[in-house]
Amino acid sequence: MTINLVWFRSDLRVRYNPALYFACKNNESIVLALFISSMKQWKLNLFSSKKISLIYKNVISLSKELRKLNIILYYYESTTFSKSINYLVRFCKKNKVNNLYYNYEYEFFHQKRDIMAMKILKNNSIFSYGFHGSTLIQPGIITNKTGNMYKKYSFFKKKCIQMLATKQLNYIFKIKKRKKIVNHSNYKIPSFRFSLEKFNEQLFPIGEKKVIKKLKLFLKNKLNNYNSDHNSISLNSTSMISAHLSIGVISPLQCLLLLFKYRFNVHKYSVEKCLWINELIWREFFKHLLYFYPLLYKETILCNWEKNITWKNNKKHFNAWKIGKTGFPIVDAGMRQLNQIGWIHNRLRMITSSFLVKNLLINWKKGEKYFMSQLIDGDVALNNGGWQWISSVGSDSVPYFRIFNPILQSKKFDPKGVFIKKYVPELKKISSVSIHDPNLWHEKVKKEINYPQPIIDFSHSRRETLTIFRRAKYKL
């Protein structure tokens, strides 16, 4: 009798899960499942407490889904990745596992862990099979003529769409219930030893079914206006699916298939006109980039002048940015939302990160780390990609001279100040015209408000950054 083990990691779903599907393909084989938490490693990788809670709750939900298929999900609490490998090997030996099935993860430490684990398993005559379950297209195959990753997003996107158009997408079918449950049928996942931080389960529901429902509602009610509304901060016009994608409760392929099912016929014209697909392909771009350059998480591999930038790294400014007390309402509202719910709109991620890097002149790596430590959807590839993009030091980033003006951004994307008022209640009584720049209002009406003065002069900081970045880039 063949025994197959599915090692779950950031693919906490039963639907469209290639590793699970292929492990179950032969009806006769016994299928076991395992999830190993690695708290110490997660903390080193700056997983936020909200993200850790989201993972744990989804592991419980996954175990229930697997039970319906007569598969038991075993759970083990490890600390580091190397200890988790030891446990995996012990588990395989104890349960006489013949084959291991898993979906790839592309982060530096994860790749290292997998190479090591597969080597040890091979030495123990256990075969392992890896699958690409967290991207639309297998990383490494969208390449330019020299076999390298495209540096320009537009070229990458074109090729990605071409490949998707010719690819058989709907290839993973339903998994049949196993004939009977194996051993430990009364096994229960032990409770988590660490305290779990609460997060808003209305916004971030637990389990595949609820997440699929959430996505369907978005596609039904909001997709039509996504192209025009997606930048609007106060409209809740985006899918908020990122947290679920980041731990694989849903996959990008499912997103695409549901989109096609509910909204489109799969033909090129609609795909290119739909900005939501464009965003999924940005995700794809950053995932593939990290696959090609796993060291991106700590180095600016694609920019040779970043090291010439003279950062100010003012601690007081950094702290004011973190807690949302910079005196720039849209920046503060964004940072306070990040701290409270662990998620912010893409436009706010751009405004707050641009402000840190290009107005406070604080090294983008500090911002990247802080975001990661707070985000419920923290994802190394996307977070790193976003920060390098805004800082003009990554692949196909904004030009160094593009600096977001937080006041103009605020007027454009939160015109009535609805979002600002929600997160910066100190400004509730100020009119929607003045709320974007309360300092100006204060100077005119001379009324006291319990809100900080701007910590920097925007125009001055802009000029200074332009000079510093120009010098760094052109070695002046």
Active site residues: 279, 282, 311, 346, 364, 387
- Short-list 385, 352, 342, 354, CA closest to 242: 342
Which of 57, 84, 93, 69 lies closest to 189, judged by CA?
57
Give the pair of three-digit tokens for residue 169.
Answer: 């997408």
Select the residue interacting with ligand FAD from 390, 407, 455, 468 (CB under 6 A).
390
Report the alpha-carbon distance of residue 164 to residue 162 in Å, rounded. Answer: 6
- Identify whether the C-beta of residue 36 lies closer than 8 Å to the C-beta of residue 88: yes
Q: Considering only residues 80, 308, 346, 405, which one is a binding residue for ligand FAD as defined by CB under 6 A?
A: 346
The smaller minimum CB distance to ligand FAD, of residues 291 and 371, is found at 371
Rule CB under 6 A: say whether 353 interacts with ligand FAD: yes
Q: Which is nearer to ligand FAD, 133 or 378 (CB)?
A: 378
Q: Which of 21, 101, 204, 286 binds ligand FAD (CB under 6 A)?
A: 286
164 binds ligand FAD (CB under 6 A): no
Task: Choose the stretch contacting ligand FAD; rule: CB under 6 A; options: 33-41, 165-173, 383-391, 442-450.
Answer: 383-391
233 touching ligand FAD, by CB under 6 A:
no
Q: Does 395 bind ligand FAD (CB under 6 A)?
A: no
Residue 383 near ligand FAD by CB under 6 A: yes
| 234 scored as a contact of ligand FAD (CB under 6 A) | no
Contacts with ligand FAD in 416-445 (CB under 6 A)? Answer: none
- For residue 403, the SS3 value is coil
Structure tokens at 263: 């909204």
Pairing of strands 3-8, 127-131: unpaired
To ligand FAD, the closest distance from the beta carbon of 437 in angstroms equals: 23
User: Alpha carbon of 158 to those of 133, 154, 163, 254: distances in Å?
Assistant: 21, 6, 9, 21
Question: Cβ distance 446 to 344 under 8 Å?
Answer: no
Q: How many Å apart are CA 26 and CA 227, to the nearest integer? A: 44
Beta carbons of 189 and 75 less than 8 angstroms apart: yes
Q: Which of 65, 77, 197, 279 binds ligand FAD (CB under 6 A)?
A: 279
Residue range at the interface with ligand FAD (CB under 6 A); choices 325-333, 375-383, 406-414, 438-446: 375-383
* 382 is a site residue for ligand FAD (CB under 6 A): yes
User: Site map for ligand FAD, 316-345, x if CB under 6 A?
Assistant: -----------------------------x
Is 349 a binder of ligand FAD (CB under 6 A)?
yes
State yes or no: residue 52 binds ligand FAD (CB under 6 A).
no
Inter-helix orientation angle 275-292/252-262, to 10°:
160
| Residue sitting closest to ligand FAD (CB) | 386
Q: How many beta carbons lie within 10 A of that of residue 337, not counting itself?
A: 20
Listed ranges 202-210, 294-302, 376-384, 426-434: which one lies at the site for ligand FAD (CB under 6 A):
376-384
Tokens 């977001």 locate to 404
Q: Is 374 in the site for ligand FAD (CB under 6 A)?
A: no
Within 263-379, residue ranges assigned H as helices are 268-273, 275-292, 315-323, 329-341, 346-358, 364-374
Cα separation values, 452 from 327, 419, 426, 427, Å = 5, 18, 10, 11
Q: Which of 31, 35, 43, 87 is nearest to 59 (CA)?
A: 35
Q: Which of 32, 36, 280, 455 binds ligand FAD (CB under 6 A)?
A: 280
283 binds ligand FAD (CB under 6 A): yes
- Contact residues for ligand FAD (CB under 6 A)? 230, 238-242, 245-246, 279-280, 282-283, 286, 345-346, 349-350, 353, 371, 375, 377-379, 382-383, 386-387, 390
